[in-house]
Amino acid sequence: MTKKELMKTRMLIPSLYQSVITETSSKEKTELVEKLKVTLKSYRNIKIHELVTRTDFEEILKMAAHYEELSSASVSYISRLSMYRSVIKEGIKASQRLQLFQQRARFLKDMATEKQKKVNAEFALVKSLAQRGDALYVKIFAIKKLVMKLEAEKEEVDINFQKIKGNLSRVLEEASQAYEEYHVVMRKWKEEKAAEEFSREAIESAGVVWVKFLSSL
């Protein structure tokens, strides 16, 4: 090999080495792009408002931006998505606050409804008690009139009781006297009855004697 050919060969070696490095780098780049593409496709079924609230959202954005850079995308969707990120997050927060307000409103409405039910119940109770009070007032007035009537009747009964009490003493005395007279009469009746029985027995005995006498003639 001539000196000139040797020099030419030495000049070609770096070029071949650089070509091999470029080819290897391109292959790794293609593999990385495909890997990123597969990973990013796994987020396809996730809604944007769910994606924004994920804790790994920043990593996903970096991954997507890296994919666009490696794939030399003509339009950077990720940069546009980054612009909407704050608006979307604020919208999600507003939606959450809206839900909280709606829940609070429902809670307060339910509470107000329950309070109104209690108010209605208390009002009905007050009305019922007022009507009952009116009815009781009428009853009390009627009872007072009845009490006055009963007191008059009681006074009359007391007067009659005193009269009957006096009559009862007199009747008891008369009854006691009548019982004494009754006992006297009964005692005499018993004495007369005993005498009558004794006389009848004597008559019967005398009759027997008389019959015997006649039988002996």
73-83 tens-digit pLDDT = 777 778 777 77
* Burial environment of residue 24 by CB neighbours within 10 A (0 to 12, 13 to 18, 19 or more): exposed
At residue 217 the predicted structure's pLDDT band, cuts being 50, 70 and 90, is low
At residue 194 the predicted structure's pLDDT band, cuts being 50, 70 and 90, is confident
What DSSP element (H or E) covers 43?
A: none
Cα–Cα distance between 74 and 71 in angstroms, integer? 9
Cα–Cα distance between 151 and 23 in angstroms, integer? 129
pLDDT exceeds 70 at position 210: yes
